[in-house]
Amino acid sequence: MIFDYGDKKNPTGNAIIYWIIKGDNPHFSKGEIIATNFVISPLQFNEETLMVNFPPVIVKSFEELLHIAEIHNVDLIRGGELYIPKNISDIHNFYKKQIEKYNGLMQEYLIAFKEKLKKDRDNDSIPHLINKAHKLMEEIRKEVKSKEPGDRPGDKFAKIEDRKKELRIIEEKLNRQMKGFNFSRIIYLIDRPEEVVDHLVELYHQKFLAIFLEDYEKAGVLKEMINEIENLLLFSNNIS
């Protein structure tokens, strides 16, 4: 399966397959293209994938087709060449008879799309998001403590702010699935220079895992420890 536009590893679910028309049929000039669009729904009915396949259309040039794919963010898949005999005048009926030859491409695309959906679901699972948040917090702490020669404050600040934005996105995703994940204070304090913030990061990780496991007693104890450290940091900040 060859993509002329789009990414095979990240299919959109909306694709155009096209073929170059060959042969001496008077109804179709050489070099014209026949293309069909199909859309896969991310929803399922009785565990079956829903897909709509639209009738084929004639397109004058590859450039025109590529432009359509680009402006609508549609995957563009090369089907190869399609030989149309001289006596064929109804392209739609002819295409229906040929469709079995090209179902393989659609099935291959469908498999790639299903694999992407599974990966997306795995990446948005609560344990994955908790661990991703922990990794981002550790990266921020590493940036805060970094004293590499040539480090520019502006660059370091930008990296930290980018990771904070990612943390806010993860917080939103987590709370869509399960309430109790609050990142606001740790995001506010995470770029403080005090080493105790490293311990705070670990406590947050443990607390989030306890919430996921519904061990609310442990989560409560960790919350008290977190509040104690955070209040000390906020108090020292007010004094200074």
Q: What string of H, E and C letters represents the secondary structure of 147-178?
A: CCCCCCHHHHHHHHHHHHHHHHHHHHHHHHHC
Q: What does the alpha-carbon distance between residue 192 and residue 235 come to, in Å, rounded to a whole number?
A: 13
Instruction: With cut-offs at 50, 70 and 90, classify the pLDDT of residue 214.
Output: confident
Percent of the chain scored above 70 by pLDDT?
A: 80
Instruction: With cut-offs at 50, 70 and 90, classify the pLDDT of residue 188.
Output: very high
DSSP bridge partners of 3: 77
CB 16 within 8 A of CB 75: yes
pLDDT of 126 > 90? The answer is no
Q: What is the mean pLDDT of residues 165-172?
A: 93
Annotate 74-134 with three-state secondary structure. CEEEEEEEEECCCCCCCHHHHHHHHHHHHHHHHHHHHHHHHHHHHHHHHHCCHHHHHHHHH
CB 93 within 8 A of CB 17: no
Instruction: With cut-offs at 50, 70 and 90, classify the pLDDT of residue 185.
Output: very high
User: Whole-number mean pLDDT of the chain?
Assistant: 82
Q: What does the alpha-carbon distance between residue 172 and residue 169 come to, in Å, rounded to a whole number?
A: 5
Q: What is the reported pLDDT for 134?
A: 94
Q: What is the mean pLDDT of residues 159-174?
A: 92
Nearest to 15 by CA among 3, 33, 29, 30: 3
- Which among 19-23, 91-95, 208-212 has the top mean pLDDT? 208-212
Q: What is the reported pLDDT for 105?
A: 76
Q: What is the mean pLDDT of residues 143-156?
A: 74
Instruction: Give me the residue spans of the domains in the chain.
Output: 2-117, 124-239
Query: Per-residue pLDDT tens for 4-13?
Result: 998 888 888 8
Q: What is the reported pLDDT for 200?
A: 94
